[in-house]
Amino acid sequence: MTEQDWKEKLTPEEYYILREKGTERPFSGTYNDFFEKGHYVCAACGNKLFESTTKYNSSCGWPSFDQAIEGSVKYTKDTSHGMIRVEVTCAKCDGHLGHVFDDGPKDTTGTRYCMNSVSLKFVPEN
């Protein structure tokens, strides 16, 4: 899709975060304190990204997961904002989802996928 197509498909906030690599304010997202059973997909293209069983409360202000569905995301070195981080994007549409860190739960993967709620849509378990 062209950037114009994305602008027409997405809300202004979704476009800012998914296409311009923005970030929602901490503790403001729909899924920060949301723990229903189901899975999460990319808000732009519907690619299945995370199972609800991998979501946990990290108290960081954004939805956190300890594992992505294999092959669903891509990782890119991000040196913006004067730090080195790993950006997480949708493997299907390249939409910006958030960043991944190595400070997650030690009893599972040790990984924290710090995602923007705006980049996600929840699909309830049937």
55-56 and 64-65 strand pairing: antiparallel
**Cβ distance 65 to 50 under 8 Å?**
yes
Please confirm, yes or no, whether 114 is among the known catalytic residues: yes
**Cβ distance 89 to 98 under 8 Å?**
no
Label residue 81 by pLDDT band (50, 70, 90). Answer: confident
Label residue 31 by pLDDT band (50, 70, 90). Answer: very high
- What pTM, to 2 d.p., does this model score? 0.95
Instruction: Compute the C-alpha angle 23/27/31, nearest 5°.
Output: 85
Catalytic residue selected from 42, 45, 60, 114: 114
Label residue 15 by pLDDT band (50, 70, 90). Answer: very high
* Arithmetic mean of pLDDT, 14-41: 97
72 pLDDT higher than 90: yes
Residue 67 pLDDT: 98
* Arithmetic mean of pLDDT, 28-46: 97
9's enclosing H/E stretch is helix 3-9
Summarize pLDDT for 98-118 with one digit per residue, the tens.
999 999 999 999 999 999 999
Label residue 126 by pLDDT band (50, 70, 90). Answer: confident
Residue 66 pLDDT: 98
- Beta strand ranges found along the chain (DSSP E): 38-42, 48-51, 55-56, 64-65, 73-78, 85-90, 96-101, 112-115, 120-124
* Arithmetic mean of pLDDT, 8-15: 97
Which phi-psi region, left, alpha or beta, contains residue 66 (left: φ > 0; alpha: ψ -120 to 50)?
alpha
